[in-house]
Structure 1
Amino acid sequence: MHEMSLAQSIVEIVENTAEANNTRKVSKVKLIVGELAGVEMHALMQGLKIASQETPMEGAEIEIERPQGTAWCMMCQKTVPLHRRGDACPECGSYQLSINGGTEFRVSELELGDDE
């Protein structure tokens, strides 16, 4: 389950940022997780809940942006929506696709809270 290691990496990024900003509390974490990033969202959320215990991220609101998957179809010569890797082009049925969107995975924004 690689989602747990992803969650631990997110918590580490958040901890390092909080430390660099001399705060012990993060109130909100915004993530970008593309539709084709290969991440099972429920498992990631469970991993974040576990990994953030007793860290500045504990109890923080988590907001997730999910960019749509897209691919360049070599037959149609255009960008088409793609919801799962291995699917055919929705326009022509070709499998000659090159994924060009929806693979993002990153922390995009943090809201630091007030230390109490």
Structure 2
Amino acid sequence: MSLCEGVVQVLEDSARQQGFRTVKTVWLEIGALSGVEIEAMRFSFDVIKKGTLAEEARLEIVEVPGQAWCLPCAKNVTINQRFDACPDCGSYQLQVTGGEELRVKELEVE
């Protein structure tokens, strides 16, 4: 719930700065490694948006895969969760490089 409250706060701050009145659609990028439960986010957003400028907004979620740099392979690989092995060589010497984000990617506003 607190993540959705933060998203609505970002929307309200943006509305003050940019002069829009309502939000029609919110696109959120959520990384596979962010620890955010997508269905919980959808439910929480529906609860939190009531009485705000996003009351009628639709939430669209863009899932971002986990990315890591494999030290032995010396290449970027896709991982599903932290502490996965490299899908190519099986090494656990991975440095996470992406998929941890939770950000407002785009808004449709009036």
User: How much has 1:46 moved relative to structure 2?
Assistant: 1.1
Which SS does the other structure have where 2:12 is aligned? helix
User: How much has 1:21 moved relative to structure 2?
Assistant: 3.6
Unaligned runs of 5+ in 2: none
Paired positions, count = 110
Deviates more, 1:67-76 or 1:20-29: 20-29
Which residue does 2:17 correspond to in 1? 20
Which residue does 1:109 correspond to in 2? 106
Superimposed CA distance per residue, residues 21-76 of structure 1 (whole angstroms, 9 cap, x where no aligned partner): 44431111111111111111011111111111100011201112112111111111
User: How much has 1:20 moved relative to structure 2?
Assistant: 3.1
Which residue does 1:29 correspond to in 2? 26
Partners of 1:87 and 1:44 in 2: how far apart? 24
Partners of 1:7 and 1:64 in 2: how far apart? 13
Identical pairs, percent: 43
Deviates more, 1:13-22 or 1:74-83: 13-22
Equivalent of 1:39 in 6, 15, 36:
36
Give the TM-score, by structure 1 length. 0.87
Moved over 4 A (4+): none
| Letter in structure 1 aligned against 2:97 | N
Which residue does 1:70 correspond to in 2? 67
Which SS does the other structure have where 1:66 is aligned? strand
Unaligned runs of 5+ in 1: none
User: How much has 1:13 moved relative to structure 2?
Assistant: 0.8
Indicate whether 1:55 and 2:52 are aligned: yes
Which residue does 1:79 correspond to in 2? 76
Give the TM-score, by structure 2 length. 0.91
Partners of 1:105 and 1:23 in 2: how far apart? 23
Partners of 2:10 and 2:75 in 1: how far apart? 37
